[in-house]
Structure 1
């Protein structure tokens, strides 16, 4: 049939139940295993002098978020961080990837809130005390409302303010941080949020999207430049990448356009100081004046790359439609609770590609990989064999990339806890730890124990 997906329809490794997780001993010596979270999703935003975030107002607007839920309480990690860190330690993990809330550290985007810095100071000390290596992400989506009021990421000034924020945070905790990422998932911060409108601020405007895309990359470059000048090292960025495949033969242009928007715009600007022509074809008329002058800053050398991976994209062209003139298609493979295909091969493909085409021997970390599932507590336990198999399949994919020459140095599961899953509220559960959002009780899932056993082997 002419509209068939021209890709292998057979299940990929890791999609079946009861697939064992490869043991620690099967990875190179020093390979880092960790769990990841984000500030707004777990901390509880109504504590400790945190200011309003654009996520608060986005969530308060009907139709944006399931049941208009927000992160005001979340998992109450702000008060429960010690026991949460105990869970990471007891799981046998080496590291914890966390983020700092800009709206907590600087409620108005500019003025320091001492309570916010004190919290992260305690948190990092708690990691060190438990033998956990701190991996910091400075910005994971919670823009202070005061900056959003002035255009947020559409405004160049936000990039300048980000460098100030980065300096303040690192002046307080940078002496204990193993690796620092500037921005988490700039595609989500810009395209998903300003063109597709699915995340805060919820715009659907190509000019807004183009400017946000450029300014978030500029923020990254300015942040690295500032921190490097202050003597900090081990600086990087975290990109969410998708393996883009054609729906049918002859879709090369659609694949090139989608890949340029999802992947190329962000990695090429960092690694090579250019934007891909397939992206500029539609975005250049909407980029800020003299944007080329910023490319040297955006491509300030990094020390490592973080890759977040969840699924692949399947695309085709839409003849006669305005740029980007592509549409996505649902694939045939098993899916997570999010409706995302389980496709571990895509992770191996992307890690290999990043090393081959962009970063060479630079260390690469899988900074997020995980699946949502409709987990329930039954007789005090949560059985999630599907998640265990998912983890196994993607760890095998990471091993495959290492064998293929990619310098992959670590793997962080997303997420430690069931949490506030942005526009999906509290419905989608990614955690190794089940959270009862009424009582906030934590229950480790069977996948947590499976990983714990694998990490001891």
Structure 2
């Protein structure tokens, strides 16, 4: 009762801000009724969308990343997607999809701009965000650390500071105490290994030291969350690396695997072909780095990512915490493959994984809107595209995937007649050795299985 009263008080203005948008959405053509055939994913499958704090919010306080942007000559941050002001309408967009989960970050740099204390106004902002998610009928998935920490922590050396874990836990406990009674799902640290690599590149951080400290932070806050919120679901999502997952994320999972209530997996790309990796310029030099949109899209690879973790942790549920496809500045891909194609193909492979016994419980699309992709606005992942650098209105423009994902959620999957648009890649380019030793083929499915 206390939580509901507090949410009601906090979200009155949020509901008003979203009213016109929700009214417009309500008049849109609804998706078709779910098929009579029972989905293999199960009635309790969690369809969601994801966003992060720094990448989406704008109005950013001093942090390691505001400094990296200035030092490295990256795209100016501007105001990102201005989720800070537009959270109510963005949450309404997700609710209109039928999403059950909305993932968002709770930014340490915003909450604790100085080491001496916390900013109550910043907490009230996140109170309103979490309340709006709940009042829209979705469950919040809250990320404690999405690669950003306060400027004062950067001044002390970031993760090389021996006191970093203590400071991190102090903030994280404040967040848990604030929101535990609203029953969120928790992500402690987003893609720790990728986080480490960013800090190595930007800050000269020792990777082994940071890995140990991230694991210590996760394991400590996991125990604390379960003391404050009995029955909580807690993870630290891994950024899956096809063909090298045991080597890349294995050491992390060795340290934190026992303190994960479910395995959170982010999956995006397969392997480059040998020709691409070996390509050189006429003068013999290596080619310029490709854009994120040039990386290989192999949707069937998500099956092998789930297979890998279902074998490593057979007693733990699996959840795709992030998945999506980048385009260059929102332009069509040269191969004609669309965002709608990609989400439908991906869900086909999720259903295949579930039908083959993998305990998959949820899927989040990355992301609800385009955002700041760690130095650039050129990679666009959003269901709704936003041209931050050239559109001062930051208008959310729906991509073709909006209707596709809405229909998927309504039907709890793709039609039983659906076959992937994307042809299977050579097994050596998906996720070897598993993709070659135990390949999975495209199958027509009977009405009794999906």
TM-score range, shorter chain: 0.7 to 0.9
Change in Cα spacing, 1:33 to 1:121, as seen in structure 2 (3 Å) is same
Q: Structure 2 vs 1, CA of residues 100 and 328 (structure 1 numbering), >3 Å: closer, same or farther?
A: farther
Tell me if the contact between 2:153 and 2:164 (Cα under 8 Å) persists in the aligned partners: yes
Instruction: Quote the residue 2:339 is aligned against.
Output: 387
Query: What is the match of residue 191 of structure 1?
Result: 197
Unaligned runs of 5+ in 1: 1-21, 245-257, 272-298, 317-326, 379-383
Change (3 A) 1:104 1:179: same
Query: Which runs of structure 2 are paired with 1:369-380 in the superposition (5 Å)?
Result: 369-374=323-328, 376=330
1:404-451 CA-to-partner distances (Å, cap 9, x unmatched) read 32211000000110111112x211110000113222111111111111
Q: CA separation in 2, counterparts of 1:344 and 1:376?
A: 20
> What's the secondary structure of 2:319's corresponding residue?
strand
2:410 is the counterpart of 1:456: yes
- In the aligned structure 2, how far is the partner of 1:376 from the partner of 1:235? 34
Which shifted more, 367-376 or 167-176? 367-376
Deviations 1:153-206 (A, max 9, x none): 123421222221221111112211331110000011113431xx2xxxx1456x
Gap change, CA 1:211 and 1:456, over 3 Å in 2: same
Indicate yes or no: 2:121 matched with 1:115.
Answer: yes
1:304 lines up with 2:314 in the alignment: no
Find the counterpart in structure 1 of residue 63 from structure 2: 53
Find the residue that maps to 1:61 and give its secondary structure. helix
For the 8 Å contact 1:139–1:183, the answer to whether it is kept is yes
What are the Cα deviations for residues 25-59 of structure 1, in whole angstroms up to 9, with x where unaligned?
4522211111100000111134xxxx411000000
Match of 1:352 in 2: 307
Change over 3 Å in CA distance of 1:336–1:91 after alignment to 2: farther
For the Cα contact (< 8 Å) 1:434–1:444, is it kept in 2?
yes
Q: 1:71-90 alignment to 2 at 5 Å? A: 73-90=79-96
Once the 2 structures are TM-superposed, how far is the Cα of residue 241 of structure 1 from its aligned partner? 1.1
Name the counterpart of 1:407.
359
2:307 & 2:65 partners in 1: Cα distance?
35
**d(CA) in 2 for partners of 1:385, 1:313:** 18
Q: What residue is the counterpart of 1:37 in the other structure?
A: 51
Distance 1:54 1:97 in 2: 22
- Asked whether the equivalents of residues 329 and 380 of structure 2 are also in contact (C-alpha less than 8 Å), the reply is yes
2:384 aligned partner: 433
Decide which of 216, 220, 223 is 1:222's aligned counterpart.
220
Q: Residue in 2 aligned with 1:101?
A: 107
Alpha-carbon deviations, 1:218-241, whole Å to 9, x = none? 211121122223344212211111
> Cα–Cα, structure 1 residues 394 and 377, in superposed 2: closer, same or farther, change >3 Å?
closer
Q: Match of 2:302, SS? A: helix
Q: Where does the alignment leave 5 or more consecutive residues of structure 2 unmatched?
A: 1-33, 280-289, 412-450
How much does 1:110 deviate?
5.8
CA distance in 1, matches of 2:364, 2:67: 30
Aligned mate of 1:338, from 290, 293, 298: 293
Distance 1:156 1:354 in 2: 32
For residues 43 and 337 of structure 2, the distance between their equivalents in structure 1, rounded to whole angstroms, comes to: 28
How many residue pairs get aligned? The number is 358
Answer yes or no: is the 8 Å Cα contact 2:272–2:295 preserved in 1. no
1:367 CA drift (Å): 0.3
Task: Determine if contact 2:266/2:321 at 8 Å carries over to the other structure.
Answer: yes
1:80 deviation in Å?
0.8
1: CA distance between counterparts of 2:373 and 2:87? 19
- The CA deviation string for residues 378-398 of structure 1, in whole angstroms up to 9 with x for no partner, is 9xxxxx961111112222222
Q: Is the 8 A contact 1:314 1:329 kept in 2?
A: no
- Please, what is the CA RMSD of the aligned residues? 2.6
Tell me how far apart the structure 2 counterparts of residues 443 and 427 of structure 1 sit (CA, whole Å): 16
Shift in CA distance, 376/368, structure 1 to aligned 2, threshold 3 Å:
closer
